[in-house]
Amino acid sequence: MASSKQLSNLKYHLILLVFSLLMIYPVLWWIGASLKTNAEMPLPTIWPETPIWANYYKGWTSFPSFTFTKFFANTLWLEFWCVLGAVLTTPLVAYGFARIKFKLKGLMFSLLLMTIMLPGQVTIVPQYIMYSKLDLVNSFLPLILPHFFGGGAFFVFLMVQFIRGIPRELDESAKIDGCSSFGILLKIILPLVRPALVTVMVYTFLWSWDDFFGQLLYLSSAENYTVSVALRVFIDSEAKIEWGQLLAVSLVSIVPSVLVFFAAQKHFVEGITTTGIKG
């Protein structure tokens, strides 16, 4: 029995090892390719014979007027306000739908959920016209403002499901002690929805960091470029593309996302696994 169980465990770990290698191979190739010359790119080897570490410096300083330090600073500044807006407003909207009774609440919540199925291509033109008339194009505001109005339908739904799993007896006890609705949200609800709030923060950061289309649409001057837009312009700005330099900078560009995910992994996974199944 013991040997059979050990054999089963060995097969299980071998299968996991094979699939892990298949999934990590592109990343290993990416790291190796960032140290190659253009001539070495077609070669099947992962690691070059002579790694060119200068690709990272040359790629970082490839723009004539700016370095990627400027683009990273722009992106982090944008991320700060996007995450702040989502964290401040998503719990407010979700608390209203989950706890407060008002007319047409069911209809409004249904309409909110319907917007999740609305393709972004349908709204992008009227949104651009609106921001253009407000003279906000070529600024970060069109990318930041939507996060200060609930953060997004998906985040509101996520938070509503989590709040509904919190016993209402806690709200009633707080009301007996003289707590207002805002006080209940601040002192009772927010501490208990921390996993869901971290999930909102991580998703907002990752989605905003990867939002190439929106940033390309609204940011037209180089001084406002984010990392994703600068990487695309990096290709356009070179008659001969140095792929090693491009891959080097793109590899560095994923570091903040990876750090944020691993830093918040515990709460992030807890928020995903417990949302909607409490109570």
If one counts the domains in the chain, the total is 2
Q: Is 179 a member of any domain?
A: yes
- The verdict on residue 235 lying in a domain is yes
The CA-based dihedral angle spanning residues 54, 57, 63, 66, taken in that order and rounded to the nearest 10 degrees: -170
Give me the mean pLDDT over the 177-199 stretch: 87
Confidence of residue 238 (pLDDT cuts 50, 70, 90): low
155 shares a domain with 51: no
* Residue 138 domain-assigned (yes or no): yes
Are 124 and 152 found together in one domain? yes
Q: What is the CATH number of the domain that holds 185?
A: 1.10.3720.10
Q: Is residue 187 part of a domain?
A: yes
- Give domain status of residue 208, yes or no: yes
**Same domain assignment for residues 20 and 77:** no
Cα dihedral 217, 223, 225, 227 in deg (nearest 10):
180
Tell me, yes or no, whether 193 and 82 share the same domain.
Answer: yes
Whether residues 121 and 24 share a domain: the answer is: no
- Report the C-alpha gap between 184 and 191 in whole angstroms: 10
For the entire predicted model, the pTM comes to: 0.84
Residue 54 structural domain: 2-58
Round to whole Å and give the CA distance between 92 and 97.
9
Residue 35 shares a structural domain with residue 153 = no
> Percent of the chain at pLDDT above 70?
93
Q: Tell me the Ramachandran region of residue 56: left when phi exceeds 0, alpha when psi lies from -120 to 50, beta otherwise.
A: alpha
- 147 lies in some domain: yes
Mean pLDDT, all residues of the chain = 86
Residues 145 and 251 in one domain: yes
| Residue 115 near residue 153 (C-beta atoms within 8 A) | yes
Same structural domain, 209 and 99: yes
Same domain flag for 235 and 115: yes
Are both 166 and 254 inside the same structural domain?
Answer: yes
Q: Are residues 182 and 93 in the same domain?
A: yes
In contact, 224 and 138? CB cutoff 8 Å: yes
- Quick check: is 279 in a domain? no
- Ordered DSSP codes for the chain: -HHHHHHHHHHHHHHHHHHHHHHHHHHHHHHHHTTS-GGGTTSS-SS-SS--THHHHHHHT-SSS--HHHHHHHHHHHHHHHHHHHHHHHHHHHHHHHH---TTHHHHHHHHHHGGGS-HHHHHHHHHHHHHHTT-TTSSHHHHGGGGTTS-HHHHHHHHHHHHTS-HHHHHHHHHTT--HHHHIIIIIHHHTHHHHHHHHHHHHHHHHT-HHHHHHH--SGGG--HHHHHHHHHHT-SS--HHHHHHHHHHHTHHHHHHHHHTHHHHHHHHHHTTT--
pLDDT at site 237:
53
pLDDT in tens, 29-81: 999 999 999 888 888 888 888 899 999 999 998 887 888 999 999 999 999 99
Q: Domain check: are 125 and 30 in the same one?
A: no
For residue range 162-176, what is the model confidence (pLDDT) as tens digits?
Answer: 898 888 888 888 888
User: Which tokens sit at 179?
Assistant: 């707590």
Instruction: State pLDDT tens for residues 11-33.
Output: 888 888 888 888 888 899 999 99
